[in-house]
Amino acid sequence: MSEMAAEQITADGRRIGPVVMEMKNITLRFGGVVAIQDISFDIREGEIRAIIGPNGAGKSSMLNVISGFYVPSEGEVWYKGARRPAMKPYMVARQGIARTFQNIALFEGMSVLDNVMTGRLTRMNSSMWSQALWKGRAEAEEVANREIAEKVIDFLEIQHIRKTPVARLPYGLKKRVELARALAAEPTILLLDEPMAGMNVEEKEDMSRFILDVNDEFGTTIALIEHDMGVVMDLSDRVVVMDYGKKIGDGTPDEVRNNQAVIDAYLGVAHD
């Protein structure tokens, strides 16, 4: 895979750039349990990279390593060509890595707009005092941030619920609001933890469309975890397959689909 050219154009005309993030020999242990065992892979600029695998394969753990929620026991995370030291999740977020959660983590008491605006927090620079007094730069900044938030809201077609408290929304819309909040940060890499979990077919189609559009429109690099093989194969440019904490496959959807180890992991194999 490292043989790929520094830059390439996909069949549908999207630009895929150089490696932006590289996981080198990541191992993650919880006490005696090895959640991730010596896994390496990279994420390239502008691509949609999927991590798939059966339940308990360590996919979410891997996402948590990327977003800084877990610190790997061994191995290195390289980001934008430099080794990333162990850092707190909020620092990772400030470096341009936004994420969503499998079990939706939204600010339930706030409106949709406020939730999306929190995505802009890392982009606000003016001081507390000027903001409290609502003057000058702070005001201009608030307006600019608001504009981006509204653009994202428009893009994900949630204008009609802008002012609704999140707690009142149905599951599918919450997922979309969470995506909006992550997008509002204009992230370098967008991490999606099972964006389609618990959705019906129609909602899944919507979400797939949004993911593709985001990638297409903003050129956002996306790394996602998903159970639904069909969806993943349609969406992604490259796929990492995990099973029992190990990497058993890596490549384009077609390569992965024909990989015997992957087939065994998904369909089961007779152990004799």
Partner 1 sequence: MPDQVLFAMEVTLNGLMAGVLYSLVALGFVLIFKASGIFNYAQGVMALFAAATLVGIMDGQVPFSHLINAIFGTDLHHFGWHVPALLAIVLTVGVMIVLAWLVQKLVMRHLVNQEPIILFMATIGLAYFLEGLSDLMWGSSIKTLDVGLPQGINDTIDRVTFDAFGYGFFIDNLDIVAAIIAALLVIALMAFNQYTKEGRALRAVADDHQAALSVGISLNFIWVLVWSLAGFVALVAGMMWGAKSGVQFSLSLIALKALPVLMLGGFTSIPGAIVGGLIIGVGEKLFEFLIGPMVGGATENWFAYVLALLFLVFRPQGLFGEKIIERV
**Judged by CB under 8 A, which of 7, 74, 108, 254 binds partner 1?**
108
**Judged by CB under 8 A, which of 35, 57, 169, 182 binds partner 1?**
182
**Judged by CB under 8 A, which of 105, 140, 144, 269 binds partner 1?**
105
Stretch that binds partner 1, among 1-9, 25-33, 109-117, 216-224 (CB under 8 A): 109-117
Backbone angles phi, psi at 178, to 5 degrees: -65, -40
The reply to whether 122 sits near partner 1 by the rule CB under 8 A is: yes
Least spacing, CB of residue 220 vs partner 1, in Å: 16
Least spacing, CB of residue 77 vs partner 1, in Å: 17
Distance CA 112, CA 160 (A): 10
- Secondary structure (DSSP) of 56-78: TSSHHHHHHHHTTSS--SEEEEE
Alpha-helix runs per DSSP H in the chain: 59-66, 89-94, 112-118, 128-133, 136-155, 171-184, 201-218, 229-235, 253-257, 260-267
- Residues 20, 155, 69, 232, CA torsion sign: negative
Stretch that binds partner 1, among 10-18, 36-44, 101-109, 227-235 (CB under 8 A): 101-109
CB nearer to partner 1: give 98 or 241: 98
Please say whether the beta carbons of 115 and 166 come within 8 A. Answer: yes
Q: Which of positions 1-40 make contact with partner 1 (CB under 8 A)?
A: none
What is the DSSP code (8-state) at residue 3?
T
Distance CA 21, CA 18 (A): 9
The reply to whether 124 sits near partner 1 by the rule CB under 8 A is: yes
Least spacing, CB of residue 29 vs partner 1, in Å: 20
Binding mask 59-78 for partner 1 (x = CB under 8 A): --------x-x---------
The reply to whether 117 sits near partner 1 by the rule CB under 8 A is: yes
CB nearer to partner 1: give 163 or 271: 163
Distance CA 248, CA 86 (A): 27
Burial class from Cβ neighbours inside 10 Å (0-12, 13-18, 19+) for residue 258 reads: exposed
**Judged by CB under 8 A, which of 44, 59, 174, 181 binds partner 1?**
181
Distance CA 116, CA 119 (A): 5
CB nearer to partner 1: give 133 or 269: 133
| Site size for partner 1 (CB under 8 A) | 31
- Within 10 angstroms of residue 1's Cβ, the number of other Cβ atoms is 11
Residue among 230, 251, 255 nearest 240 (CA): 251
Stretch that binds partner 1, among 8-16, 76-84, 154-162, 179-187 (CB under 8 A): 179-187
Distance CA 78, CA 64 (A): 15
Stretch that binds partner 1, among 22-30, 33-41, 88-96, 201-209 (CB under 8 A): 88-96
Chain contacts with partner 1 (rule: CB under 8 A):
67, 69, 88-91, 93-94, 98-99, 101, 105-110, 114, 117-119, 121-122, 124, 128, 131-132, 134, 181-182, 185
